[in-house]
Amino acid sequence: NKWRIVLPDNGRQWKDQNQVSTFYSGNKIKTTKYTWFTFLPQNLFEQFHRLGNVYFFLLLVLNWFPQVEVFHREITMLPLIVVLLASMVKDAVEDYRKHQFDKTINFSKTRVYDK
């Protein structure tokens, strides 16, 4: 377990404060799920944990075999693509709103009480 050390602001422990502050992260709030680089792979990973999406993906794969083909290949892709795109847009908007709210909270003014 890591213990957090809180040092009083009396001027004596400034050298200790610099050493301790590099060990701990800041107190910024971050509630977002994704970054620019992880959005697509992480979102697709989460989407395919849903049974309905896996079912439509299996239908899409089966439809690529001529012996099993029931519909045109493009028509089979349509439901899965629409559902995935709608979910991605919803998740992106939701994550962006979280990011904006976190930014507002992190840059708000606070009061620091001192002796």
pLDDT tens, residue by residue, 71-93: 777 888 888 999 999 999 999 99
Residue 88 lies in a domain: yes
Residue 7 within any structural domain of the chain: no
DSSP line for 24-82: S-----------TTTHHHHHHHHHTTSHHHHHHHHHHHHTTSTTT--S-HHHHHHHHHH
pLDDT digits over 5-55, tens only? 665 555 555 556 566 566 666 677 888 999 999 999 999 999 999 998 999
Per-residue model confidence (pLDDT) at position 6: 61
Please check whether residue 113 lies inside any domain of the structure.
no
State residue 95's pLDDT score.
96
Range of the structural domain that residue 80 is part of: 30-107
Question: What is the tally of structural domains in the chain?
Answer: 1
pLDDT tens readout for residues 54-68: 998 998 888 888 887
pLDDT for residue 34:
92
Would residue 37 count as lying in a domain?
yes
Q: What is the pLDDT of residue 41?
A: 95
Q: Is the residue at 5 inside a domain?
A: no
Domain assignment present for residue 59? The answer is: yes
User: Does residue 12 belong to any structural domain of this protein?
Assistant: no
Q: How far apart are CA 102 and CA 33, in angstroms?
A: 12
Q: Residue 75: what pLDDT?
A: 83
